[in-house]
Amino acid sequence: MPNDALCRQLAQRVITLMREPQKPLCAVENVRLIYAEEPLPRTPMLYPAGIVILFQGHKTGYLGSTVFRYDATKYLMLTVTLPVECETDATPQQPLAGMSLTVDPASLQDLLLSIGDDEQFQPQPQTSGIHSAFLSEEMLCAAERLLDVMDKPRDARVLGPQLVREIIYYVLTGPIGGALLSLVNRQTQFSQVARARVASRTTLPKA
């Protein structure tokens, strides 16, 4: 299935999950669904560290002189929490739909140990705090399976964490995987600067 068709299918799944309050979502640790029916003008907010995948709609972010856009073709990854200005494109007919994943450093270390000494896995560390890359079919298929368990309590509890791990694995072995390595060492100079910036703006809403 082409990625655009799969994204439309996943967007509809998110919309269905969010619009059916009589069928409560089952929590999967470190996963949050993204859903909005109204556009949002450029607004200051905190972007937490993690991976953001959109299946429909798009967002534009502003960090100093840097402008970044992510949509159903590219995912966003932040290795530190950052204060940014963001605008959202969404309508009731075409809602913003996606998911965000928090990357637990301990789980990431465990994943790196599982990969082990693999000559084909040679990510180069990257110090920037914000990155984007094209969504792969493998990531979307894992996201599809993750969405499928979110209204099934036992499946969400047992399979959810493994599906999150699978998505993170594809990010780690993808074009911006080296950026995830900075989560293992939180004492980089960039992290210290970013934490100082965040501390001065702790009242901002989260993205």
Banded model confidence at residue 117, pLDDT cuts 50, 70, 90: confident
In this structure, are residues 39 and 88 in contact, taking their beta carbons and an 8 Å threshold? yes
Name residues whose C-beta falls within 8 Å of residue 72's C-beta, 6 or more positions apart in sequence: 3, 4, 7, 11, 54, 55, 56, 57, 58, 135
Res 95 pLDDT > 90:
yes
pLDDT: is 121 or 191 the higher one? Answer: 121
Within a 10 A sphere around the Cβ of 1, how many other Cβ atoms? 12
Helix orientation angle between 153-172 and 105-115, rounded to the nearest 10 degrees: 70
Domains of the chain: 4-192 (2.60.120)
- The residue-averaged pLDDT of 71-89 equals 93
**How much is the pLDDT for 191?**
42
- pLDDT tens digits, 161-182: 999 999 999 999 999 998 888 7
| Cα–Cα nearest to 47, from 160, 124, 131, 126 | 131
**How much is the pLDDT for 194?**
45
State the amino acid at position 79 in one-letter form: T
**How much is the pLDDT for 204?**
62
pLDDT: is 126 or 34 the higher one? Answer: 34
Banded model confidence at residue 61, pLDDT cuts 50, 70, 90: very high
CA angle in degrees (0–180, nearest 5) for 161-164-168: 140
* Separation of alpha carbons 50 and 81, rounded Å: 8
Which contacts (CB < 8 Å, 24+ apart) does range 101-104 have? Answer: 101/30, 101/31, 101/50, 101/51, 101/52, 101/53, 101/164, 101/167, 101/168, 102/30, 102/31, 102/32, 102/48, 102/49, 102/50, 103/30, 103/49, 103/50, 103/51, 103/168, 103/180, 103/183, 104/30
**How much is the pLDDT for 17?**
93
